[in-house]
Structure 1
Amino acid sequence: MRGFVRDNALSLFFLLAFAAALVGQSFAGTADYNARQLTEGGLPVTWADYVTSSDFAVDVAENWQSEYLQFLMFIMVTVWLVQRGSPESKPPGEEGGQSDREQRIGPFARPDSPAWAKAGGVRRSLYSNSLGWVMGLVFAASWFAQSVAGTAAYNNQRLSQLQDPVGWSGYVLSADFWNRTLQNWQSEFLAVLSMIVLAVYLRQRGSPESKPVGAGHAATGVES
């Protein structure tokens, strides 16, 4: 058990942090929702009612889709674009998908290589791009979930104001949907930009996200 925890400490830490933040959000969201309900002359709801509501679902989904978009774009863009001096980038001149030898696939696979990396045809092609595909699918699913939950939450608000509800397509084209979406996207893109550029000049000793403390600013794609 101790060995399992040590070998998986990073993922376990972020899993627990995620769970704690989600539970905290659910209680804080319930309190905020009930405060607005009382202000508007409505009735408060229970925690269980809130976490199964469209209001909670849209808040969660809109954050998830922006996070997965961030990683999807970072994964795909770094195949072709570089940033000299950043440990988040390949060295200039190594843009592209690299050769089979460099990627250790097909006849260049090693004994410990995944089975699909040793295979050919569709299986190798799928596995070669599987990380991007999964990130893209999760992003698309969470963005769709945001749009569906957002439509319900938006219509609840409109009905409380004696306005006609809108359809899913109407909501997806609305200012409310794109305001929710873009305010998350811009923060994610800024965070990635900051990481790429700051890691050129700043260091964090012992972190694989940083260059060695003594590495030159122009050193690219190296880890501590």
Structure 2
Amino acid sequence: MVEAWAQNDHKDGKMGALRNNGLTIVLLLLFGASIIGQWIAGWHVQVEDAQRHGEQVLSLSAYSLSPEFLSSVFENWESEFLQMSAYVVLTAFLIQRGSAESKDPDSPPRDVDLDLQASKPGAPRILQSGPIWRAIYARSLGLTLAALFLISFVMHWTQSAKVAAQEAIAHGEKPLGTLAYLGDAQLWFESFQNWQSEFLSTAVLVLLSIFLRQRESPESKGVAAPHSQTGE
């Protein structure tokens, strides 16, 4: 009997973990499937291009570390982290009345007196480490996302510079150095074409959430909520 209860508790624990972390698990599975698809499809494109030009064909494993693949990966990550960091910071200061994606301008400030709130049950312990750590932690999400953007941008820039240098050598031209490539139009064309789509999609979400609903989603107001209601 005891063993049966233990097995049931173990099973319930697993199901609880899956239920409590389902959103992250599904998103990571979708990410994994997508990046594997990009990796394999990109390798086939590289093989076809190399055969067409009589160049060396990379193996699948070699392609995974190639500047072509890494540049394309970090080019996309860069725009995503830029969009998220900008959104997190801007929503702290700006509002869109009626949007589920905006804080309510008529609500009282949520994060005042953090030194007092630090003593509340369940509050992160770092809040008790003094005013400097409280100030850093109070902005840690935006700072971390901004750092991930900068890291992704540097990786995109340096790997794209290697791709451009390879193409220049193949055409008998003098390649640009990595620092010089920072001023090249190709790098900024690759960046801006992704940045603009991220900012547009975020603006569209902010505006559509005023008038449209998605039942039970925290990114939407309640289905019966008035259009003028701001926030979830």
TM over 0.5: yes
- The aligned counterpart of 1:194 is 204
- The aligned counterpart of 1:158 is 168
TM score, norm. by length of structure 2: 0.90
Are the equivalent residues in 2 in contact too, given 1:82–1:95 (CA < 8 A)? no
- Change in CA separation of 1:127 and 1:172 when aligned onto 2, cut-off 3 Å: same
Q: Which protein has the larger Cα radius of gyration, Structure 1 or Structure 2? A: 2
Q: Say whether residues 1:168 and 2:181 are aligned partners.
A: no
Are the equivalent residues in 2 in contact too, given 1:79–1:96 (CA < 8 A)? no
- The aligned counterpart of 1:209 is 219
- The aligned counterpart of 2:92 is 79
How far 1:118 sits from its partner (Å)?
Answer: 3.3
Q: Say whether residues 1:128 and 2:138 are aligned partners.
A: yes
How far 1:43 sits from its partner (Å)?
Answer: 3.0
Any gaps of 5 or more consecutive residues in structure 1? none
**Structure 2: distance between partners of 1:142 and 1:215:** 39
Q: Matched residue pairs, number?
A: 218
Residue 81 of structure 1 aligns to which amino acid in structure 2? L
Of 38, 44, 62, which residue of structure 1 is paired with 2:57?
Answer: 44
Are the equivalent residues in 2 in contact too, given 1:79–1:97 (CA < 8 A)? no
**Structure 2: distance between partners of 1:25 and 1:79:** 35
- The aligned counterpart of 1:68 is 81
Relative to structure 2, which stretch is displaced further, 111-120 or 186-195? 111-120
Q: Tell me the secondary structure at the aligned position of residue 216 of structure 1.
A: coil
Q: Say whether residues 1:57 and 2:66 are aligned partners.
A: no
Seq. identity, %: 34
Residue 147 of structure 1 aligns to which amino acid in structure 2? W
**Structure 2: distance between partners of 1:93 and 1:72:** 25
Are the equivalent residues in 1 in contact too, given 2:213–2:222 (CA < 8 A)? yes
Of 31, 37, 48, which residue of structure 2 is paired with 1:24?
Answer: 37
- The aligned counterpart of 1:107 is 116
- Change in CA separation of 1:96 and 1:107 when aligned onto 2, cut-off 3 Å: closer
Are the equivalent residues in 2 in contact too, given 1:151–1:171 (CA < 8 A)? yes
How far 1:38 sits from its partner (Å)?
Answer: 1.9
Relative to structure 2, which stretch is displaced further, 105-114 or 122-131? 105-114
**Structure 1: distance between partners of 2:117 and 2:65:** 50
TM score, norm. by length of structure 1: 0.93
Any gaps of 5 or more consecutive residues in structure 2? 1-13
Q: Tell me the secondary structure at the aligned position of residue 80 of structure 2.
A: helix
Are the equivalent residues in 1 in contact too, given 2:117–2:123 (CA < 8 A)? no
How far 1:94 sits from its partner (Å)?
Answer: 5.5
Residue 10 of structure 1 aligns to which amino acid in structure 2? L
Q: CA RMSD in A?
A: 1.5
